[in-house]
Amino acid sequence: MEEKDKYGKELDLAVRIVHMACSLCQKVQRRLLSTASDQVLAKDDDSPVTIADWSVQASVSWLLSEFLEGQNVSIVAEEDAQTLSKSDAANLLAAVVDTVNECLADAPRYGLRSPKKALGTSQILEAIRRCNSTGGTRGRHWVLDPVDGTLGFVRGDQYAVALALIEDGKLVLGVLGCPNYPMKKELLNYNHQRHQTLPRSPRPSNIWEKGCVMYARRGSGQAWMQPLIHGDMKFEWPNSARLVQVSPVDDPSLATFCEPVEKANSNHSFTAGLASSMGLRKKPMRVHSMVKYAAIARGDAEIFIKFARSGYKEKIWDHAAGVVIIEEAGGVVTDAGGRPLDFSRGVYLEGLDRGIIACSGLALHEKIIGAVYASWDSSNL
């Protein structure tokens, strides 16, 4: 197989699957926001989980296994079926079963096959449980975050569906679905400002019904974006896609930087100090999920800085898809020591040097690395 065609089948499948998963999430989010729902639960680490998380994971697991028949499909994913298997979770499980079958029934719209008959409860639980791989240095491993940024999801804000493929410890492709990420930068700014002042205010449909899917294959030097389909729109891929590139801005005073919303896994005071020492003048854009990676890849922002507090361990599914997309769009992603992120050592980004830095270019990246070394000893991390 020629290099240019390598992973073509896998990328085609992943893009179609992520489009389907985004449609599922949009339907569930609309229901959550329009009704008082008890279908948002807290996991052991107090992070939220919804029927969308389990339903996307089950759907993606079934589709990958179905379409890569004959392969030993290894999937590293965030959720497990433990909560759904409890005796008092019958209503929740039934909602997941209905949501998965509703999603898979729509598969032909995306050029995929539906099951011959609706999947039963045991089949859906098994599909979720199959996503129990821990990855590693050998073989192919799909990496899935079914709903990245669940807190944003339940608030009607930003979230993402992220699917990546690792082969022999190296990222080879990434697909990132951002259902609430508007196609124009000014609309993202509108959303950011709205959530600083009026959380849960009505969202104009002409702005919010324009999400996107971004994707890239390692070594292509290209990253692509296409709009999500809505209503009776016909799914077209790759005809509807266009190239995206990182921003050419290399002056810190003109740069926009993103960081996580939650203080629990990001030290805002340290990143504020870094921003000040570098001459970053704009207020940080605090955005849920890997939408931050999407913003950098398509030139809406220049910097993503994340320094978690001591003891927090980064999971590979929170970064894999976004990293390959930024890098193929011309950007740089490393840890705070300037080393590439290592996705070969299991579920966690083991050996991570302090934090994660994603930039639109080398000039900004080098300035941030220098600022980190200058500021680290006086930090409270």
Structural tokens at position 270: 């340290």
- Nearest Cα to Cα of residue 23 among 106, 114, 116, 120: 106
328 is in an annotated binding site: no
Task: Write phi, then psi, for 352 (nearest 5 degrees).
Answer: -70, 130
Q: Is 150 a catalytic residue?
A: yes
Element containing residue 357 per DSSP (H, E): strand 356-359
- Running DSSP on this structure, what letter comes out for residue 330? T
Strand order in the sheet with 242-244: 75-77, 140-148, 160-167, 170-178, 212-217, 223-227, 242-244
- Give 202-266 as a DSSP string: PPPHHHHT--EEEEEETTS--EEEEEPP-TTPPP-TTTT-EEE-------GGG--EEE-S-STTS
Interacting residues of 20 by C-beta distance below 8 A, sequence separation 6+: 59, 63, 103, 106, 107, 110, 112
Q: Which of 5, 38, 80, 150 is catalytic?
A: 150
Given the residues 53, 157, 300, 335, the one annotated as active site: 53
- Is 148 annotated as ligand-binding? yes
Active site residue 99: no
Q: Annotate 79-143 with DSSP letters as a single string.
A: --STTTTSGGGHHHHHHHHHHHHHHHHTGGGGT-PPPSSPPPHHHHHHHHHT-B----SSSEEEE
Residues contributing to the annotated binding site for Mg(2+): 78, 145, 148, 318
Catalytic residue numbers?
53, 150
